[in-house]
Structure 1
């Protein structure tokens, strides 16, 4: 069971998420509608995970995202799952460039993913366990933005598929299951990717952050 603080300005979606999370055995210790209430609730309840919308009152810009980053600075290693209505790679970039991204679980999902209940709950569990989770649609857009990147063009179609799953935060075993190939094949493809893109062959969150940094055209994290 996870103790959760939920921040979502839509009353209907907030109630639906509370119902869903409670039904699977989690405890929503606070469900709030704006970023200020979110900060107070986290300071009071010290939850296992925070789930927050990106856009919150009063301006409906990125208040929820900024609150999440501030809370992670104040509560080191606090797992946060951010929900977004639209594919906004700028929000994803801001979230995963927040300085403490390599420590503690961190996720960025589209709200449509909530309708895929098993995927949403799996993402929540992974974030709670310290992993990084990126919505597949966000990864797809990042990859499309890099079509002119020559190092990326060196990858085979299968290597690009493996790279995309890496960016989503999946480990080798999960990638193998998703692509219906052996784990040994994933390791081989991963080695080729690391060599062709000059990435550090690490595992876990640091691997995800390195891949994302490459897709954003930045220097990979050290």
Structure 2
């Protein structure tokens, strides 16, 4: 199959390329960040993409969000997430938002090369391949999830001041940071709380309501 590999670790990325090519697959692109992954998928339209969760610039969830973009924009491209981490919110979206062609494996729990290759083949064929530990963690947190748990301490500080009715400029003055830094935190808050642009609704107000409700 034709593959795109996305992992910020050069050693792991090159190791995957060598392994997959030795198995007869064609790696059309091997990249180290989410934006380049999206470009590579758009350019090559591979059969599948193998994606890490944490990649530049923030090393939090860029890879997994890019995987969801790939599934949305290129539904014929299968996606296998291969990571050390379970990013719960986006992993749940990946698990529930697709009828097949997706997988999520934990690097430390892949004990055999054949296991990884079998999972990749299964995902490419339209099936699913989820590590039981990934599913267990999602189910364990699904009932009582703190909506603010994903926020950093600084993002919580910004959200608290948003709830006080302060503008970004006032928040920047209170926290002794730049206005642009506050804007980045606000956008991160919207993203982590899953508040998308919706006509007729203020994202700022919705974020404050989430904060008060928590």
TM interval, shorter chain, is 0.5 to 0.7
Give the paired residue count. Answer: 144
In the other structure, the counterpart of 2:85 is: 86
- Counterpart check, 1:137 vs 2:136: no
Equivalent residue, structure 1, for 2:112: 116
The alpha carbon displacement at 1:72 in A equals 1.4
Q: 1:17 matched to which residue of 2?
A: 16
1:48 and 1:78 map into 2 onto residues whose CA distance is 5
Shift of 1:142: 4.6
Cα distance change, pair 143–57 in 1 and its aligned pair in 2 (3 A):
closer
User: Cα gap change, 1:89/1:16 in structure 2, threshold over 3 Å: closer, same or farther?
Assistant: same
Shift, 1:145, TM fit: 5.8
Aligned counterparts of 2:14 and 2:86: Cα–Cα separation in 1? 24
1:126 aligns with 2:125: no
Structure 1 Cα separation of the partners of residues 109 and 122 of structure 2: 15
Give, in angstroms, the shift of residue 144 of structure 1. 5.5
Distance 2:110 2:18 in 1: 13
The separation in 2 between residues aligned to 1:80 and 1:105, in whole angstroms, is: 6
Q: Give the superposed CA RMSD.
A: 2.2
Deviation at 1:94, TM superposition (A): 2.7
Contact 1:35 1:56 in 2 (8 A): yes
2:103 aligns to what?
A: 107
Could you say if the C-alpha distance between residues 60 and 146 of structure 1 is closer, same or farther in structure 2, counting changes exceeding 3 Å?
closer
Is 1:58 the counterpart of 2:54? The answer is no
> Structure 2 vs 1, CA of residues 56 and 127 (structure 1 numbering), >3 Å: closer, same or farther?
same
Runs of 4+ in 1 over 6 A off after TM superposition: none
SS at match of 1:130: coil
Residues 107 and 133, structure 1, Cα contact 8 Å, conserved in 2: yes
Provide the rounded CA distance (Å) in 2 between the counterparts of 1:53 and 1:17.
12
Q: Which has the larger radius of gyration?
A: 2
SS of the residue 2:15 aligns to: helix
TM-score, normalisation: structure 1:
0.59
Give the unaligned 5+ runs of structure 1. Answer: 148-222
Mark the runs of 5 or more structure 2 residues left unpaired by the alignment.
144-214
> Against the structure 1 CA distance between its residues 143 and 31, is the aligned structure 2 distance closer, same or farther, given a 3 Å change threshold?
same
* 1:43 and 2:42 correspond: yes
**Equivalent residues of 1:113, 1:120 under 8 A apart:** no
